[in-house]
Amino acid sequence: MKRSELSEFAVEEEGFKLKIRRGYNGLPIVSGGHAVSAPSPVESAPAPATTGGAAAAPSTAAPEEETGVSFIKSPMVGTFYRAASPESKPFVEGGSKVIEASVVCIIEAMKIMNEIQAEAKGTILEILVESGQPVEYGQRLFKIKQA
């Protein structure tokens, strides 16, 4: 991308959309998933006290499911980041309202920054992973109250 002076590249095929754009430090940021309209900014609501992001290991036992509550899970193995850079504000906090296309975090895998979208409309209830921690495929990242 540097050699060609590209700042952004996107491709869409059969319901799959891939977008790569150069990040703040020159590293690519990759966003992939189902075809959706362009990401909208996160709507902020007054945030209740947050958990501070207590670490959660993937559980093997099925916990009790709450009605209207779901989880945003990691689509890959990598390192979890709540913000685009250490100086940036986190994408979401406890109490933040999100829509399907809202970016909620970044997972770095093989030096590629992958934007993770909420894929559901609702309110973030709890952040289950701390920034900088490694995450596994399918690990719960956020607890969300669906709207």
Q: Residue 83 burial (CB < 10 Å; 0-12/13-18/19+)?
A: middle
**Assigned domain for 93 exists:** yes
Give the pLDDT of residue 9: 72
Domain of residue 39, residue span: 8-58+67-146
Report residue 20's pLDDT band, with 50, 70 and 90 as the boundaries: confident
pLDDT of 29-87, one tens digit each?
A: 555 554 444 444 444 444 444 444 444 444 444 455 678 899 999 999 999 999 999 89
Phi and psi (nearest 5°) for 75?
A: -85, 5
Q: Which one has a higher pLDDT value, 4 or 135?
A: 135
**Assigned domain for 41 exists:** yes
**Assigned domain for 1 exists:** no
**Assigned domain for 104 exists:** yes
Give me the CATH number covering residue 77.
2.40.50.100
Give the pLDDT of residue 108: 92
**pTM of the full predicted structure?**
0.57
Give the pLDDT of residue 39: 42
Give the pLDDT of residue 33: 54
**Assigned domain for 3 exists:** no
C-alpha–C-alpha distance, residues 80 and 116, integer Å: 10
C-alpha–C-alpha distance, residues 23 and 1, integer Å: 11
**Assigned domain for 2 exists:** no
C-alpha–C-alpha distance, residues 90 and 104, integer Å: 8
> Per the structure, how many domains does the chain have?
1
**Assigned domain for 142 exists:** yes
Where is average pLDDT lowest: 18-22, 29-33, 90-94, 109-113? 29-33
